[in-house]
Amino acid sequence: MNMRIGELAERTGLATSRIRFYEDIGLLKVERQANGYRTYPPQTVLILDLIATAQHAGFTLDEIRAVLPPDLTLWVHDSLLETLRNKVRDIEALERRLAQSKSHINALLAEIEAKPAEVDCVTNAERVLSRIRAGEFKGPALAAGDVNALRKARRHMSLKFEK
């Protein structure tokens, strides 16, 4: 039996505005009654759970939209597995780049902390920068897209702890 948005919100714990947002961006299909009320099939609860689970796993809404079929009975098992494996590879690549960046920052910290007592901070900064220019330190390994991924992860974590 179809349900209205209030009941769907109650069953899923999501705000009606979030449900409407998912509808607006094409993640949910909605039926309209003659009076204009939205009605949702029971399968919508599962779809919303899938969206939440995928977001918690690091998928963007665009990635979810690309893999989520309009009807769950049309889901292609091999395609889903391929998408999940690709996401794992993306995360592993990001982890490698983050480890490189962490190593770089730790090396910079060690170099800055090794400032001789008689050297002021400006002179020490020039010393460290000259070593970087000389190629003694590799630059950060983050790619442009990684910064956005990190921001999303940080925002996701802050939202998680604000609840």
How confident is the model at residue 25, as a pLDDT? 93
Q: What is the chain's pLDDT, residue by residue, as a tens digit (163 residues)?
A: 899 999 999 999 999 999 999 999 999 988 888 888 889 999 999 999 999 999 999 999 999 998 888 788 888 889 889 999 999 999 999 999 999 889 888 888 888 888 888 989 898 888 888 888 888 766 554 455 555 555 555 555 454 444 4
Tokens of 28: 């949910």
Length reported for the chain: 163
CATH topology of domain 3-74: Multidrug-efflux Transporter Regulator; Chain: A; Domain 2 (1.10.1660)
Rounded to two decimals, what is the model's pTM?
Answer: 0.66
- Phi then psi for 14, rounded to 5 degrees? -95, 150
How confident is the model at residue 74, as a pLDDT? 86
Q: What does the alpha-carbon distance between residue 12 and residue 20 come to, in Å, rounded to a whole number?
A: 13
In the chain, domain spans: 3-74, 92-162
Q: Label residue 19 exposed, middle or buried (CB < 10 Å: 0-12, 13-18, 19+).
A: buried
